[in-house]
Amino acid sequence: MTPDPILVRLIRMIAWLNGVHTLDHMIRGDFHWPIDGQSIAFVMIIGAIYLVIGMGLWLFRKGGVGPAFWTMIGSAGLMLGWLSHFSPFTDQPLHVIYGTYHKAAAGALAVLCLLLLMGVVLAATLYSGYRWSRQRRGPLSLPVPR
């Protein structure tokens, strides 16, 4: 069974946008040198995200995981994004991200990148949930296009 190419593209897009968002975090000073406790947490979270994406894609290609895995991972990603940037408990809401930059265009680009990242995570989560629901219906359901 080959993995769904649409879902693979969405996941790769998430990895790329997350890299750009990570760069934004670094520019805004969330990574300190020399390394301190906050920097270690930042590096561990970023490492865990890429480990899950990389291992997930590898297992997806081998048939070890499917749409259910990506639906759950996407849901966790949406929750992490909400807690980190959109919840009332965050110290890094959109206006703080925007205001960190001296040029309005740079701040707008950072915010746009975050919004695109969250939009693609949402799209991938909804799409993988759809694919998962189609799998669970069994042989009498309509054929799923590949």
- Lookup: tokens for 116: 């695109």
- Band (5; pLDDT cuts 50, 70, 90): very high
Model confidence at 10: pLDDT above 50? yes
What DSSP character marks residue 103?
S
Angle at 17 between CA 40 and CA 14, to 5 degrees: 95
Q: Across residues 18-40, what is the average pLDDT?
A: 90
> Which residues, other chains included, contact 25 with Cβ-Cβ below 8 Å and sequence gap of 6+?
31, 42
pLDDT given for residue 144 in this prediction:
53
What does the domain layout of the chain look like in residue ranges?
A: 5-134
Write the pLDDT tens digit of every residue in 94-139: 999 999 999 999 999 999 999 999 999 999 999 999 999 998 765 4
pLDDT digits (tens, 9 = 90+) for 32-89: 888 888 889 889 999 999 999 999 999 999 999 999 999 999 999 999 999 999 999 9
pLDDT in tens, 34-46: 888 888 988 999 9
Six token digits for residue 115: 């919004």
Q: What is the pLDDT of residue 116?
A: 98
